Chains A and B, each alone.
Chain A
């Protein structure tokens, strides 16, 4: 049987089709990625398919994630590849589930959860609706990003609010990108950083849309840069990251804007886009920095790098030192320049980058990029959230497997 995984990013859609082999081995048949979906920037959106070493695709109009999912499902059908189950990433379950089969009651719950992550959930929902329309009779499931962070200690996840109110509303720090952090943690501890067993890990998941840093001790997540939702933390493509909690109220009063409008502003018009007023894509920002009129891009880049460095420093202090620093996800693995800027001047916590190794690491495979005599491992690790989603699905689509 074949499992299709849709991993919806805020501006991207990664997909992989796996064949389930003996011993529950998952073999990748096809994969690909839609990029810059609904993005305002210098380049058009595009989609890529890879099957048995052959790459195809190119520019494609994708104004939203529903169009992107439709393109993928069309292509899979055209290639006559059967699909027996579909797994979807769903960032925030508010504690209701880790992995769950999609049925009508679950759809109702998902609809209720839409506003918690306005930048992400509606996109995931569009993909689910399109997938259910095309494949109404096969099992589909959702997997959340939060389970890996269930080990956060209270001092890391509690907000200092009146206790009753925090409990009544479930206000706490959750953390996201858990599928990626879990994959990377296992990879690092199992294979890549055996010297010290990766006891104290700082992982920078730098995506094209959302980005997050996690602190991991002995394989367990102990802190994250995001919060109750994916809005706080690092400066992102269109999300503001950390701001004064009273700022939304001031903006609402001063500009006579509703909270819905302010929320849209902080989720969709801030971050790199807000500062540059031109692009939400860090790759565009890097290119524009070199131009004479690139002042706003240089400012945006300084702010972006600074926000990552402050979290690396904060988590180094929290972990009382770092054994392994990891860069993952699109920007993390493909941008030597960003890695170099993040690491510069961070010798105080043991970070010593080898610029040449860093320049050679462009994201196809795992790489060590620390200086040869460094006491810390610095790693580039392509993440694989889809594999984690596919594995998670094996538990809930059990009944369907016999039919495959």
Chain B
């Protein structure tokens, strides 16, 4: 039995790994000093530590680790965000407290360390790029999973645009399994708007707000926690609300989101010189399908034809495109737990 740990600097969430649809799994939060709770779990064979931002320091999506290797990662020269450093320091302690278990480090940005340099770098003074200012991408474990699923479902696919649709959406352009483009930047705020973060905005407005007396902490909090669908609508709003909401600000928010999404799909295709398959991955069910179909409606000029609302079967992929569509469009129900479980199975087998 494997346990998955997903952490913020302040707390650790643990879940028993298992395929989707298995019985209610054990899970909860670990307080400091509670590592013993994991050791006491029956039949624990391994722990998967998930890091959302590995900076330049973590370059493999999945790797077996021990304390020594983790310390090497921490002592390396590559950029590592401060929060991730704190998470990894605690991971060292967890790993050493559980010497009998196997430990895997899974990382959501590692897939994107292979971005071509011209895609990863910002056009800022080179000395900053050398110190780790670059696009790190996001949800790499999801996008790699989408790539593997698409390769099975649509053999021969070489150029894929993979859209992760959720409260925090982003997309990746992938050619032959390698990343070519991402909407996520130095932080997850860049790119598509999320439930609470703004997505792309002119950075000048930060300077303007600051010169008008707003403290920096407040501005950062505003952009990352009080903007996005919720900030725009003036009440908590998720992707599912965006899909079902009609009229008023929710409808406006949906249009802004879809407008940005369709543009990013076009931008991503330009980095692939064309498109063999488009895949939407989401755990938001019917609402996400509706948004995906609406986005596809704008892509008719690519020869994309949709077939109307598909019948969604729990966990099963659905084809959104019609038989005469020049580019197949997939919808992949994507539960994070399932993806991590498959990743663990895959890594353990190797």
A residues apposed to B, CB below 8 Å: 115-116, 154-156, 158-163, 165, 169, 171, 173, 223, 227-229, 231-232, 235-236, 239-253, 259-260, 262-263, 265-266, 269-272, 274-275, 277, 296, 299-300, 302-304, 306-307, 309-318, 320-321, 345-350
Contact = CB atoms under 8 A, between A and B. Distances in A.
B123 A270 contact: yes
A158 B252 contact: yes
Interface residues of B, number: 75
Contacts of A299: 117-118, 121
B186 A250 contact: yes
B253 interface: yes
Contact of A169 (B205, B220, B259): B205
Given A161-B198, A249-B216, A244 B259 contact: no
Contact of A247 (B122, B193, B234, B274): B122
B270 A310 contact: yes
B302 to A, nearest CB: 7
Nearest to B133: A247
B263 interface: yes
B232 interface: yes
A320 B206 contact: no
A253 B216 CA distance: 10
7 contacts: A162-B231, A162-B232, A169-B209, A223-B263, A248-B207, A270-B122, A311-B267
Interface string B299-323: 1111000000000000000000000
Nearest to A319: B301
Given A228-B205, A245-B201, A163 B249 contact: yes
B302 A266 contact: no
A248 B206 contact: yes
B224 interface: yes
A72 B302 CA distance: 50
A228 B301 CA distance: 30
B298 interface: yes
Contacts of A243: 122, 124, 185-186, 190, 203
B340 to A, nearest CB: 27
B252 A169 contact: no
Given A232-B203, A243-B124, A247-B203, 8 more contacts: A116-B204, A163-B232, A232-B200, A245-B189, A246-B187, A250-B187, A317-B298, A317-B299
A228 B206 CA distance: 11
Contacts of A162: 222, 226-227, 231-232, 234
A18 to B, nearest CB: 34
A318 B273 contact: no
A272 B122 CA distance: 11
A246 B265 contact: no
Nearest to A342: B270
B140 to A, nearest CB: 17
Given A266-B203, A317-B265, A317-B298, A259 B128 contact: no
A161 B126 CA distance: 31
Contacts of A277: 125-126
B211 A259 contact: yes
Interface string B253-282: 101111100111111111101110000000
B190 A244 contact: yes
B209 to A, nearest CB: 7
B219 A317 contact: no
A317 B124 contact: no
A155 B270 contact: no
A159 B269 contact: no
Nearest to A232: B202
A223 B263 CA distance: 11
A315 B253 CA distance: 20
A312 to B, nearest CB: 7
B210 interface: yes
A174 B58 CA distance: 40
A313 B270 contact: yes
B199 interface: yes
Contacts of B61: none
B123 A274 contact: yes
Contact of A272 (B123, B257, B268): B123
A314 to B, nearest CB: 4
A227 B189 CA distance: 17
Contacts of B126: 274-275, 277, 296
Contact of B252 (A155, A275, A296): A155
A266 B124 contact: yes
A247 B186 contact: yes
A348 B274 CA distance: 5
Interface string B109-138: 000000011110111111011000101000
A155 B187 CA distance: 24
A194 to B, nearest CB: 22
B260 to A, nearest CB: 8
A235 B123 contact: yes
Contacts of A165: 222
A339 B110 CA distance: 34
B266 A231 contact: no
Contacts of B349: none
Contacts of B227: 160-162
A328 B328 CA distance: 36
A189 B270 CA distance: 26
Interface string B329-348: 00000000000000000000
Given A161-B222, A245-B201, A348 B269 contact: yes
A348 B267 CA distance: 12
B229 interface: yes
Given A243-B185, A245-B223, A274-B126, A160 B193 contact: yes
Residue among A160, A161, A162, A239 facing the most chain B CB atoms (10 A cut-off):
A160
